[in-house]
Structure 1
């Protein structure tokens, strides 16, 4: 009997540094790469927003297409499924007599529920599920503390990790993959995902395209062609252009590139050129990303409650739908907030500085339930990452990982510092 396995790709859409893929190849006579467009990812949430909007969906389609192309170059392919993973994967298990499914380990509640459903269905088919942590810089089991004892203040986490932890080696991309003959499958389009088509706004700071190939090209360009990494700390709060920040976040969110790959390339760059506060700051930001994932493991669903992890119960008030819509449409009357919200609505992207300001305005000036803001970001953002998005919103709302109870931004002062000539505001408030 041929020992065949499925590699279930999720938010690890790459061949390099993919532990799940490498382990599957090593333990199998042949593998069947699979990606499933999960119906639940394209439904409307309890907050009234799509879980996945058109911008991210388009980016996902491009990333899956690129993964399929790259697998075909290694004499394999990608089966593209559409439906509920527990149902669709079971069909492939039965068709190809699969005994093991390899996949990325999930850490957040909804994703874990799906993983558990799949594992239950596989058990009924005498098939096992093996999962691996693949989307962080550090392995959580190598940290100097268990997740439940992890510090709730980032600085304490950072100091402990920098002192006691090392980043593990990357997993090399396979040179060839042995797969059985796979049936032809076609990617759905946005219409099949019940979404409208999207057009790139000419004012976009950076028109993203999904896929591992694009991610590695951006890494090379940012480090070597422009050497923008050398000024990252000074420019990262910029708002106009394509090089003020790395723009790695969208590819990281889908696993088109791994955090370990970025750091490995960063070390090569530092040896060849220069190490400075900006090159360190990129590591610092990736550490924040790991931290929010670890906090999600520690606190679980509390991050999705109105009082977050703080335990400070905030009285629920009726939702001001009028104020919410004004914020979404960029019609609050505050030009700095409105320009940022229009950019998000038209492109699926917003700068880090913009995100902090619009979230502060939402929570403090409009006094709205922060979860609605987080849910709207979930729909709109190309680079949506469940841990970073909800962790950051809770942080700004004063109910997350922040020793300060009220993180308020003076919007006018922020605008004068980060958009002193109103270049950004003129760009997005001018009718197109």
Structure 2
């Protein structure tokens, strides 16, 4: 009997626990990835659920994953189809006894899991072992789901129950920093040549996904290719070639260029690199080159990323609901004309416009920009924040469900901001674009 690794947002070979566990078992190890057509459909707001920028990055990531797995003598099957249609057939064709996958808990991913299990025609018995793995025995097929997208593993945080996760980030951060250790990395060895299986499927093009091909904008702050190879190259460049990590906190609110911030977010979002890998490279950097507040601040940001995932685990679908996790009632509006103005950079605020045009033309926007355009939409115009969050989901190369919705409820005043702040956009523009260089770049 053989083992199937169902890749999702863990598109890497290094430090991948599903892949590592599969390689510990007897039998062949085969990888599979599904380009789910539902992810490329038109939303009710008139834009695609996934636009060309993230799709291009994803296809590049899949090519790289396929090559990196092949170097380990592991085949990757790629399908532009629904997982529930194809996976049961793979189980029969390749005599799969165990399916390994990253544990997901947001509704769309859970629905897909359930659909697959229904189509496999079995009763589900759920077991949770001490490693944080979830095993579902479905007829003869065992599903092993592993939390693998965190810096601090859920089994290691000082909150035995997710309901005890604090609503204030600082409390969570300090307790985890004091009581948690980041786990070591895992790696797999090269498998025997006979592990490879014949595959005829090819990676679809953007056009196959209903999207248009494009050239990267010359002013893009994120001109990088998808894939683990590119992620590790970027890490090496930012840390050890240019030593930019030593100034990270000072430059992270920049707006122009590739090196004002680490730009790891897109690879983290689809799992081209693990948060643990970045953490341990920071430790190496601090030993070899420099240790200061700037080097720590990158870890600080990784903990923020963890925190939004834990808030999602704690509150479930509340992060997608209008009243958020606070159940706060506001008089939210939705105006189609306002949406088009905001999306197209046609508001009364040039700083907002510049950021929205950058997003529209490149699929990327700085963290500073994201906070300002979100505050403008939700606090100035008091428009339904969920519509704007869906637009970010469509456009952002580095879209991550937990960070995107966590940040939107935060900025909309229905999330984890204890101060419920509202940005003074003109003041922000003066502070971060005092010479107007960024606005001139995107507004002409």
TM-score range, shorter chain: over 0.9
- In structure 1, the partner of 2:126 is none
Cα distance between partner residues in 2 of 1:29 and 1:62: 29
CA contact (8 A) 1:253 1:383 kept: yes
Cα distance between partner residues in 2 of 1:231 and 1:61: 32
Decide which of 44, 48, 51 is 2:49's aligned counterpart.
51
- In structure 2, the partner of 1:271 is 287
User: Where does 1:238-249 land on structure 2 (aligned, <5 Å)?
Assistant: 238-249=254-265
- Between 110-119 and 26-35, report the one with greater CA deviation: 110-119
- In structure 1, the partner of 2:58 is 60
- In structure 2, the partner of 1:37 is 35
SS at match of 1:361: helix
User: Where does 1:276-291 land on structure 2 (aligned, <5 Å)?
Assistant: 276-291=292-307
- Between 21-30 and 227-236, report the one with greater CA deviation: 21-30
- Between 200-209 and 337-346, report the one with greater CA deviation: 200-209
Cα distance between partner residues in 2 of 1:371 and 1:47: 11
Change (3 A) 1:421 1:243: same
SS at match of 1:270: helix
TM-score by length of 2: 0.94
SS at match of 2:304: helix
1:151 aligns with 2:151: no
Decide which of 17, 23, 26 is 1:25's aligned counterpart.
23
SS at match of 1:413: helix
Q: Which runs of 5+ in 2 are unaligned?
A: 123-138
Decide which of 390, 397, 411 is 1:382's aligned counterpart.
397
User: Where does 1:58-207 land on structure 2 (aligned, <5 Å)?
Assistant: 58-122=56-120, 124=122, 126-145=140-159, 146-176=161-191, 179-207=195-223
Root-mean-square deviation (CA), in Å?
A: 1.3
Q: Deviations over 1:305-360 (max 9, x none)?
A: 1110111122453x211111000001113111100000000000000000000000
User: Where does 1:289-328 land on structure 2 (aligned, <5 Å)?
Assistant: 289-317=305-333, 319-328=334-343
SS at match of 1:199: coil
Q: Deviations over 1:70-128 (max 9, x none)?
A: 11122222111111111111111111111111101002111111122223333546312
Q: Deviations over 1:245-298 (max 9, x none)?
A: 000000000100000000111101100111100110000000000000000010
Task: Give aligned pairs, total.
Answer: 426
- In structure 1, the partner of 2:429 is 415
1:218 CA drift (Å): 0.2
Cα distance between partner residues in 2 of 1:243 and 1:41: 31
1:209 aligns with 2:225: yes
1:38 CA drift (Å): 1.0
CA contact (8 A) 2:71 2:190 kept: no
Cα distance between partner residues in 2 of 1:251 and 1:72: 20
1:180 CA drift (Å): 4.2
- In structure 1, the partner of 2:368 is 353
1:46 CA drift (Å): 4.4
1:423 CA drift (Å): 0.7
User: Where does 1:227-238 land on structure 2 (aligned, <5 Å)?
Assistant: 227-238=243-254
Cα distance between partner residues in 2 of 1:174 and 1:119: 31
Q: Deviations over 1:14-64 (max 9, x none)?
A: 000000001011013111111111122112334443221110000000000
1:199 CA drift (Å): 2.2
Cα distance between partner residues in 1 of 2:353 and 2:96: 52
CA contact (8 A) 2:72 2:190 kept: yes
- Between 295-304 and 175-184, report the one with greater CA deviation: 175-184
Cα distance between partner residues in 2 of 1:191 and 1:180: 29
Change (3 A) 1:39 1:326: same
1:225 aligns with 2:225: no
